[in-house]
């Protein structure tokens, strides 16, 4: 535990913080995992990459800490956590993502949550994603079409069919691509 505390303290030292994240990301300890998740707030790309790579190893403790971090006040952390959960395609996170999606106010985090549900591809997500096909933001609608396309069951295909008439060309093209292959409006 003293070693973990020392590594966490080193996150405040510019010369040693990358090294600390590299090590913390691979330790199965709540404090180490939480410090790794919070490393995303640093402006250092290599630190973020180290944190991402270490957390995508998955495991029960990592996943449980990531699920808790979905409630973090920082949209940047919530978006990062969703990226990690999407990469590891963790089914245990599905319900937590659905729950946070319904209350999410940040459109970038919402879109990442939708993308992550598509990566996990749990058929139970279809009913929760379908309302976002009618969302005012075209990028959210497009991301929802993509997510439902990855789930790819009858309910998902039926849901996205209504978007063949969407007001946005990119949304329509995404639906056409999923249904017919590579075609466009033109």
Q: Judge contact between 150 and 121, C-beta under 8 A.
A: yes
Provide the pLDDT confidence category of residue 42 given band limits of 50, 70 and 90.
confident
DSSP string, the chain: -HHHHHHHHHTTSTTTHHHHHHHHTT--SHHHHHHHHHGGGSS-HHHHHHHHHHHTT--HHHHHHHHHHTT-S-HHHHHHHHHHHHHHT-GGGHHHHHHHHHH---HHHHHHHHHHHHHHT-GGGHHHHGGGGG-S-HHHHHHHHHHHHHH-SHHHHHHHHGGGG-SSHHHHHHHHHHHHSS----
> Longest Cα pair distance anywhere in the chain, in angstroms?
63
| Euclidean distance between CA atoms 169 and 171, whole angstroms | 5
**Topology classification of domain 2-180:** 1.25.10
pLDDT (tens digit per residue) in 90-133: 999 999 999 999 899 999 999 999 999 999 999 999 999 999 99
**Mean pLDDT across the chain:** 90
pLDDT (tens digit per residue) in 156-177: 999 999 999 999 999 999 999 9
């Amino acid at each position: 535990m003293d070693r973990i505390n020392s590594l966490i303290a080193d996150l405040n030292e510019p010369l040693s913080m990358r090294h600390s994240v590299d090590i913390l990301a691979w330790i199965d300890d709540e404090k180490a995992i939480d410090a790794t998740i919070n490393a995303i707030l640093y402006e250092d790309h290599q630190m973020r990459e180290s944190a991402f790579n270490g957390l995508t190893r998955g495991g029960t403790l990592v996943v449980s800490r990531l699920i808790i971090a979905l409630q973090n006040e920082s949209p940047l952390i919530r978006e990062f956590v969703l990226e990690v959960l999407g990469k590891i395609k963790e089914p245990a996170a599905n319900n937590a993502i659905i729950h946070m999606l319904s209350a999410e106010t940040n459109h970038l985090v919402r879109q990442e949550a939708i993308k992550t549900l598509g990566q996990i591809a749990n058929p139970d997500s279809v009913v929760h994603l379908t309302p976002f096909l009618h969302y005012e933001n075209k990028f959210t609608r497009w991301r929802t079409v993509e997510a439902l396309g990855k789930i790819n069951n009858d309910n998902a295909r039926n849901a996205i069919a209504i978007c063949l008439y969407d007001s946005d060309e990119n949304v329509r093209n995404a639906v056409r691509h999923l249904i017919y292959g590579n075609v466009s409006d033109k």
